[in-house]
Amino acid sequence: MRVWQSVRFKIVFGFFLIIAPMVLFLIYNNLYAMNVVRQQISSHYNNLLSLNVSENDKVLEEYTSYLIRLDHNPDIPIIQALRSGDSDYTLAKIRLMNQFMLDSSGIYNRKDTLFIYDRKEDDMYFVTQDNSTYSDKRDVLLQWSRQHLQSNGLLDEDDTHWISMTVNSGGTGGNYLLRTHDLGLGAFAGVLVRTGSLLRGLEGFDVGDEGGSFLLDSSGEVLTDTASPLMTDPLFRQAIVKQSGSYGIVKQGGRSYLVLVRQAEKANVIYAIVMREDYILQNLPFFQKVLYYWIPLLVAILLSLYLVFLQRIMFKPLVDLIRGMRKLGQGRFDIRLPTDQSSEFAFMSGTFNNMAEQIEKLKIDVYEEQLRVQRAEYKHLQVQINPHFYMNSLNIIYNLAALKDFKSVQKLSLHLADYFRFLMQSHRATVRLEDEIKHIEHYLEIQKVRYVSKLDYEIRVLPQHAGWGLSPLMVQPFVENAVIHGFNKRVPNGMMFTIVIATEEDPEAPDRYLLLTVADDGPGFEPELLANLENGRHAAGTGEQHLGIWNILRRFKMLYGDDGGISFGNAPAGGAVVTIRLPFARLRAIEAEEAEASGEPGEGTGRSA
C-alpha cells in the first residue's frame, strides 16, 4: 500500500491543510513588517547619503574651480617664463606656497595637498596638511607627473572627473582623489583630497559594529583607509558595485546585509553604506522571534500533541489490528488483541480474537490429521528402502556361496549383521551422520566382496560433521544407485570404479546447512533423467524406474519442505554428482516432534564438539 493511501498520512496531511494557512499568514505579516522597516530605514539613509554625496561633489567642484582660477594668478606666468635659478622664479614659488597654505586653512581645508609641477624644470613644490608623508607624496606625485604630464596634460579643462591614487607611507597606504589642471607652458596645478575626509558626513550614521561607510571605484576596489572584514571578499565588493535601486540585500558569510549605494557625479567613485540586516531589525525583536522561533515551535508543539492524541485513540489500535492480521496470516493463531479501547475498536478487537480462536482450533485439528497421515506415509517410505537392498544382498551371498568363497561369506555376514542392526533403528526420525556413513561402508564392503578389483570408495567426512543429524537411509540409496547404474553401465576401461562421499561447510550459511556430496566416475546421469531431476518432474512422478531417488526426494520434501534441497549433476570429467544440502535446525525440530509423539525424550542431533 502506498504511503499516501494510509489513514495516518491522510489525517496528518489534513492537519497541515488546516494549520498551514494560519502559519503562512503569520509569516507573511512578519515579512511585511520587516520589509516596511527596511524601506523606511533605507529611505532615511538614502536621503542622508544623497545630501552627503551632493555636498562632496560641490566641494570637489570648488577645488576644480580653484585650480582653474590659478590661471589668473600673477605668479604663474613668472614660473612659466623663468628658470629655477632665477630669483624672481624663487620669489614667485614662495608666494604661491604661502598662498596655498593660506587657502588650506580657509574654505579649502578639506583638501590634503596643493602642488604645482614645472615640466621644463622637472620640479615640484606643494603644500600638504600632513607633513609626515611629505617625502612619500613628493615621490609619488613626481613619478606620476613625469609619466602622465609630459604631454599636453592628463585632463581637459572641460573634464571635471577625479582619479584615485594611493600613497604608501611606512608600510601603510593612504587613499586620495587627484585632480590636475594644465596651466600652460609646461606648468600644471593639482590637488589631492583624502578619501577619508569625504566620508566624515557619514560617520554619524548608526550602522552597527559590523557595518560601515565605504568609498569604492567602479572596479570594486576600496578607496578608504578603514579596514573591514567585509571588504576583503571581492565577490561582496562586486555585488555592492552592481547594486541598483534604493537599497539591496547582499549575503556574505551566511549573513544578510542591507546595502545603499550612490554614484558621485564629479568623480568616478561610489559611496556605499553597509549594515547587518538583523541590526536594523533589532527594534522588531517580537516579529523576529515570532518568525524564526515561536511559529516553528508552536507548530511543532501542536503537531506533537495532535499526533500523540491520534496515536492513542486511533493509530495504535489500527497498528495492533494490522499486526495481528499479519501474524494470523503467518500462522500465529495464538495472537490476541487488547479490548480496553474505544467502543468501535473494542468491537473490532473482540471480533478478531473470536475469529483467531476459531481458526486456531480448526488449524490444530487439520494439522494433527495431516501429521498422522505424513507419519504413516513416512514410515511406509522408510520401509520401502529395505526390500530394495535385501534382494541385492541375497544375490551377492548366493554368488559367493556358489564360488565357495567362505571367508568372503563370513566377512559379508558380519557386514550384513551391522547393516541389519542399523535398519532396526530406522524407525527413528534422525540418526548421526557418522552412523549413516558406517551403514554405507557396510554396504560398500559387501559390494567390494563381489567386485574385488573393480570397485573402490573414499569417504572424506570432516570430524565436525560427524554428529550432524539426518534422516536414516537418506544417503545410502544414492550410493546404491551409483553402483547399480554407474558401475554396471560404464564402459570397461581397466580403471577402478570409485565412489567419493565428502562433506564441506555451506559457504552461504555454515551454521545452518551442511553440503554432503556423493560422486562417482561412471557415465553420469542421462540427459533426459537429469533434466527431469532438475525441473522436479521426476520427484512428482511414480519413480518406478528409479525407486530410490523418488523415495528420497519424497521423504526430503516431507521432512524439510523448502528448507535445504538435493541437486543433481554431472562432473566435467564424467560421473554423476549428487549434492545434499542438509538443514540443521529443522532436523532437531523433527526429532523433538517424533519424540513427543512417541512419549520418549528426543535425542539431540547437534554437531559433535
Average pLDDT over residues 53-71: 87
Q: DSSP character for 230? A: G
Cα atoms found within 13 Å of the Cα of residue 128, Cβ hemisphere only: 17
Q: What pLDDT, in 10s, does the model give residues 169-193?
A: 665 668 888 888 888 888 888 888 8
Q: Cell triple for residue 372?
A: 498422522
What is the third-level CATH fold of 364-598? Answer: Heat Shock Protein 90 (3.30.565)
The reported pLDDT for the residue numbered 519 is 95
| Residues 511, 516, 518: CA angle, nearest 5 degrees | 175
Does 520 have pLDDT greater than 90? yes
Asked if 277 contacts 256 with a C-beta cutoff of 8 angstroms, the reply is yes
What confidence tier does 459 reach under pLDDT thresholds 50, 70, 90?
very high
The reported pLDDT for the residue numbered 540 is 45
The reported pLDDT for the residue numbered 452 is 76
Does 201 have pLDDT greater than 50? yes
Does 39 have pLDDT greater than 80? no
Least confident of 158-172, 195-209, 314-328, 452-466: 158-172
Asked if 443 contacts 389 with a C-beta cutoff of 8 angstroms, the reply is yes
Asked if 66 contacts 179 with a C-beta cutoff of 8 angstroms, the reply is no
Asked if 222 contacts 215 with a C-beta cutoff of 8 angstroms, the reply is yes
Distance CA 58, CA 80 (A): 30
The reported pLDDT for the residue numbered 458 is 94
Distance CA 500, CA 516 (A): 11
Q: Identify which of 589, 569, 565, 590 has the alpha carbon closest to the alpha carbon of residue 578.
A: 569
Q: Identify which of 492, 445, 297, 473 has the alpha carbon closest to the alpha carbon of residue 379.
A: 473
Q: Identify which of 222, 226, 216, 227 has the alpha carbon closest to the alpha carbon of residue 264.
A: 216
Asked if 250 contacts 257 with a C-beta cutoff of 8 angstroms, the reply is yes
The reported pLDDT for the residue numbered 597 is 54
- Give the long-range contacts of residues 295-303, CB within 8 A, separation 24 or more: 295/23, 295/26, 295/27, 299/19, 299/23, 302/19, 303/15, 303/19
Q: Average pLDDT of the chain?
A: 76
- State which of 251-260, 295-304, 523-532 shows the largest mean pLDDT: 523-532
The reported pLDDT for the residue numbered 4 is 61
52 or 427, greater pLDDT: 52
The reported pLDDT for the residue numbered 367 is 58
Rg (CA), the chain: 54
Least confident of 17-26, 150-159, 353-362, 480-489: 150-159
β-sheet with 269-276: strand ranges across:
212-217, 269-276, 255-263, 248-252
- State which of 101-105, 218-222, 290-294, 598-602 shows the largest mean pLDDT: 218-222
The domain limits of the chain are 73-198, 364-598
Q: What pLDDT, in 10s, does the model give residues 85-108?
A: 788 888 888 888 888 888 776 656
Q: Cell triple for residue 45?
A: 539613509
Q: What pLDDT, in 10s, does the model give residues 404-425?
A: 777 777 887 788 788 777 766 6
The reported pLDDT for the residue numbered 585 is 60
Q: Identify which of 221, 179, 215, 176 has the alpha carbon closest to the alpha carbon of residue 199.
A: 215
Does 224 have pLDDT greater than 50? yes
DSSP one-letter string for 551-602: HHHHHHHHHHTTSSEEEEEE-TTSSEEEEEEEESHHHHHHHHHHHHHHTSPP
The reported pLDDT for the residue numbered 605 is 39
What confidence tier does 570 reach under pLDDT thresholds 50, 70, 90?
very high
The reported pLDDT for the residue numbered 504 is 93
Q: Cell triple for residue 147?
A: 609619466
Distance CA 30, CA 544 (A): 89
The reported pLDDT for the residue numbered 56 is 86
Does 197 have pLDDT greater than 70? yes
- State the burial class of residue 393 (Cβ atoms within 10 Å of its Cβ: 0-12, 13-18, 19+): middle
Distance CA 249, CA 228 (A): 18
Q: Cell triple for residue 412?
A: 559379508
Residue percentage of the chain with pLDDT more than 90: 6
Strands 497-505 and 455-460: parallel
344 or 78, greater pLDDT: 78
Does 140 have pLDDT greater than 60? yes
The reported pLDDT for the residue numbered 376 is 55
The reported pLDDT for the residue numbered 602 is 43
Distance CA 119, CA 189 (A): 11
Options 1.10.730, 3.30.1420, 3.30.70, 3.30.450; which CATH number does 73-198 get?
3.30.450
Estimate to the nearest angstrom the gap between the alpha carbon of 85 and the chain centroid: 83
The reported pLDDT for the residue numbered 576 is 92
The reported pLDDT for the residue numbered 457 is 93
